[in-house]
Amino acid sequence: MTAQTGIHQSRKWVYIPLTMMALFYLLPMFVMLNTGFKSFAEVSLATMWKLPTSLSIENFQLAWEILAPNIWNSFRIVIPAATISSFLGSINGYVLSKWKFRGANIVFPLLLFGMFIPYQSVLIPLTQVMAWIGLGGSTWGLIMVHVIYGIPITTLIFRNYFAAIPDTLVEAAKVDGAGIWQTYRYILLPISIPAFVVVYIWQFTAAWNDFLFAVLLTSQDNWPVTVALNNMAGSQIIAWNVQMAGSFLAAVPTLLIYIFLGRFFLRGMMSGSLKE
């Protein structure tokens, strides 16, 4: 057997384990949708793996009635959080890569460590401060928390992006008399759109999927969808088929982002490991 046929054979064989693993990854999605599309009459735990005989959207309608206000809350929290985070990260990344001040090399690792801390080590002061500044229970308090604890990752992504841009570009602007703001506004900001997309998507997804901060900091009226969904799943009154439909609704926005802007999402994900 020559080396070439060996490689060729192994290639075809590769699809068997890959497809089996693909089924494993799709399993929860299948159950969510399969159950979600059954009519109330057809739903039963014993027939969980049978396909629906006809498509019904009863489950999705009921789940939507329950979760719609919370999905709206999630957008109200996530959009400002991701927007503010992106601009802050952009400015920090710019200064820490192109306008380095003495001590910048100490500041950066100190910022980065904030990305890894277990939030249980800051939750007690956080609730005290939120109550003290009068933001307890509100969406603005939660937005602020997402922005602040997002500073490390957003700064990291922008810093790496700007670091890859030649310093000569900045030097030339300085020679032409551009200050820190002009250099940013007219040179680096326009070419950093890809980094903005990466950071925005990353923060959008992280804030949308957050549960810990939300359950601690928001009152029931302001619950985002993750908290409401968990509450719905814990109740004895709401049937599991509605829970499945609700889970799917809660996943739709981030899934759509992943499907359409996946490569930007992946770039954000890889930077979290400090590896490019």
Partner 1 sequence: MDDWWGILWVLPSILAVMVFVYGFIIWTARVSLSAWKGLTPDYTYVGAQNFVNLASDRRFHIDIKNTIIFTLVFVIGCLLIGLGLAILLDKGIRAEGFYRSLFLFPMAISFIVTGVVWRWLMNPSTAEDRLSGLNLLFHNLHLDFLINSWYATPTWGIAAVAIGAVWQMSGYTMALYLAGLRAVPETLREAARVDGASEFQIYTRVIMPLLWPVTLAAVIILGHSSLKVFDLIIAMVGKQIALDVPSIYMWTTTFDGFFFGRGAAIGMVLLVSVAVLVIPYLWYSLRQESEG
Indicate whether 71 belongs to the interface with partner 1 (CB under 8 A).
Answer: no
Residue selected from 43, 66, 77, 126 as contacting partner 1 according to rule CB under 8 A: 126
Indicate whether 91 belongs to the interface with partner 1 (CB under 8 A).
Answer: yes
Closer Cβ to partner 1, 77 or 88, answer by number: 88
- Amino acid identity of residue 176, one-letter, is D
CB 216 to partner 1: min, Å:
7
Q: Which stretch binds partner 1 (CB under 8 A): 3-11, 59-67, 164-172, 192-200?
A: 3-11
Closer Cβ to partner 1, 25 or 193, answer by number: 25
DSSP lists the bridge partners of residue 218 as 137
CB 181 to partner 1: min, Å:
8
Residue selected from 2, 5, 10, 235 as contacting partner 1 according to rule CB under 8 A: 10
Residue selected from 41, 116, 166, 168 as contacting partner 1 according to rule CB under 8 A: 116
Question: What 3-state DSSP class applies to 136?
Answer: coil
Residue selected from 114, 137, 140, 239 as contacting partner 1 according to rule CB under 8 A: 114
- Separation CA 24–CA 202 (nearest Å): 25
Indicate whether 172 belongs to the interface with partner 1 (CB under 8 A).
Answer: no
Indicate whether 168 belongs to the interface with partner 1 (CB under 8 A).
Answer: no
Contact 246, 234 (CB under 8 A): no
- Separation CA 223–CA 135 (nearest Å): 14
Between the alpha carbon of residue 82 and those of residues 11, 143, 146, 226, the distances in Å are: 42, 9, 8, 17
Between the alpha carbon of residue 59 and those of residues 32, 224, 248, the distances in Å are: 11, 20, 11
The owner of tokens 């956080």 is 126
Q: Is 44 left (phi over 0), alpha (psi -120 to 50) or beta?
A: beta
**How big is the site for partner 1, counted in residues (CB under 8 A)?**
96
DSSP lists the bridge partners of residue 137 as 218
Q: Which stretch binds partner 1 (CB under 8 A): 12-20, 65-73, 134-142, 185-193?
A: 12-20
Between the alpha carbon of residue 40 and those of residues 81, 172, 197, 229, the distances in Å are: 38, 68, 41, 20
- Separation CA 152–CA 85 (nearest Å): 10
CA-derived radius of gyration, the chain: 24
Indicate whether 258 belongs to the interface with partner 1 (CB under 8 A).
Answer: yes
Residue selected from 62, 79, 148, 189 as contacting partner 1 according to rule CB under 8 A: 148
Closer Cβ to partner 1, 58 or 213, answer by number: 213
H helices then E strands: how many in the chain? 12, 0
Residue selected from 63, 96, 157, 173 as contacting partner 1 according to rule CB under 8 A: 96
Indicate whether 254 belongs to the interface with partner 1 (CB under 8 A).
Answer: yes
Residue selected from 37, 149, 158, 161 as contacting partner 1 according to rule CB under 8 A: 149
Touching partner 1, residues 231-250 (CB under 8 A):
233-234, 240, 243-244, 246-248, 250
Residue selected from 192, 229, 242, 264 as contacting partner 1 according to rule CB under 8 A: 229
- Separation CA 72–CA 18 (nearest Å): 38
Indicate whether 183 belongs to the interface with partner 1 (CB under 8 A).
Answer: no
